[in-house]
Amino acid sequence: MGKVIANMSMSLDGFIADPADGIDHLFGWMGNGDVEVPTAVDWATFRMSPASAEYMRAALSSVGALIAGRHLFDITHGWGGTHPVGVPIFVVTHKEPADWPHTDTFTFVDGVEKAVALAKEAAGEKNVVVASAKIAQQCLEAGLLDAIHVDLVPVVLGDGVRWFENLRGTTRLGNPTVVEGNGVTHLAYPVVR
């Protein structure tokens, strides 16, 4: 059985986007190196440091389904119909978008519990990755996360969209596995139940 993993690029002060949803400061590590990491789409090929590339290849090959929030779906225009990770996407939303044609890979689900259940089923032995801050918060509160993978970027943004907020309780994590990239430190924490 795969794990449910929340994964985001985050600034040292905890932001996953600037106040205007910009990610320029946070995604640079995906393009600042020489090692190509292909994705499922033509418009996104990563070029990373060797360490990040090895880490990313392993991560990509172990993902079986993705969960995103409606806001992320909207601001990326549904990744044009195909997410770079190339797996089934479960979008948590109260209202399904009208006329969305890519229903083969996109499923719209009301509530995180249901999204996680469906994504796990779709992922089989592989992992489910939660790729939106608010959804990750809700999954953490609901005890649905097995791991938190932070791509920690060496910048203090000062303001923006926080990954972790609106949390009622404290969650203990285990020691992370650490991979040192360039412009990023990959920290993979298990959630302690």
Q: Is the dihedral of CA 112, 71, 169, 191 positive or negative?
A: positive
Cβ atoms of 27 and 56 within 8 Å: the answer is no
Using the CB atoms, write b or e for 46-62: b if 16+ within 10 Å: bebbebbbebbeebbee
What are the distances in angstroms from CA 3 to CA 32, 97, 147? 29, 28, 7
- Options 6-14, 54-62, 77-85, 112-120: segment touching its own copies (CB under 8 A): 6-14
Q: Is 35 in the site for its own copies (CB under 8 A)?
A: no
109 token code pair: 């689900």
Pick from 140, 144, 147, 161: which binds its own copies (CB under 8 A)? 140
Size of the site for its own copies (CB under 8 A): 35
Q: Which is nearer to its own copies, 101 or 169 (CB)?
A: 169
- Options 62-70, 105-113, 117-125, 166-174: segment touching its own copies (CB under 8 A): 166-174
Q: Is 122 in the site for its own copies (CB under 8 A)?
A: no
Structural element, H or E, at residue 108: strand 106-109
Q: Which is nearer to its own copies, 110 or 165 (CB)?
A: 165
Q: Which residues bind its own copies (CB under 8 A)?
A: 12-14, 25, 140, 148, 150, 152, 154-159, 162-165, 167-176, 178, 180, 182-183, 185, 187, 189
